[in-house]
């Protein structure tokens, strides 16, 4: 079993829809949770960061951590074609540890 599981997709939704992307993990000691966005043939870029549990909102994006279920989510409201990318979740034990990555979910927003 992988430490971090992420459905590879592709997930295809119409423009304007609410998108929900998810990762599950097995190590209950993870404390830092991140979402990176990767456009085709580019490097990933940090989208959202959450420490421990709870929600964090930034514009159209909301990151949610449920440590009791070992589950993290990224919600995108009013999705745009420019949101079409691969979304990678990543997490770590503490600030001195390296990140463990999900495989990424490919998202396609249809105009």
Partner 1 sequence: DGGITQSPKYLFRKEGQNVTLSCEQNLNHDAMYWYRQDPGQGLRLIYYSQIVNDFQKGDIAEGYSVSREKKESFPLTVTSAQKNPTAFYLCASSMGAGTGSSPLHFGNGTRLTVT
What CA–CA distance (Å, rounded) separates 52 from 97? 15
Q: Which is nearer to partner 1, 44 or 85 (CB)?
A: 44
For the chain, where are the E strands, in sequence order? 4-5, 11-14, 19-25, 32-38, 45-51, 54-58, 61-66, 71-76, 85-92, 100-101, 105-110
Q: Provide, rounded to whole angstroms, the least separation between the CB of residue 69 and partner 1.
A: 20
Among 15, 18, 45, 108, binds partner 1 (CB under 8 A): 45
Q: Provide, rounded to whole angstroms, the least separation between the CB of residue 9 and partner 1.
A: 11
Window contacting partner 1 (CB under 8 A); options: 11-19, 36-44, 72-80: 36-44
């Amino acid at each position: 079993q992988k430490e971090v599981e992420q459905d590879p997709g592709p997930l295809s939704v119409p423009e304007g829809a609410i998108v929900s992307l998810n990762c599950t993990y097995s190590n209950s000691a993870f404390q830092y949770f991140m979402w990176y966005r990767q456009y085709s043939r580019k490097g990933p870029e940090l989208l959202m960061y959450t420490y421990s549990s709870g929600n964090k909102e930034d514009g159209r994006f909301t990151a949610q951590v449920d440590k009791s279920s070992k589950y993290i989510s990224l919600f995108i409201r009013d999705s745009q074609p420019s949101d079409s990318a691969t979304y990678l979740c990543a997490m770590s034990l503490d600030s001195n540890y390296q990140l463990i990555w999900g495989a990424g979910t490919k998202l396609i927003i249809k105009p």
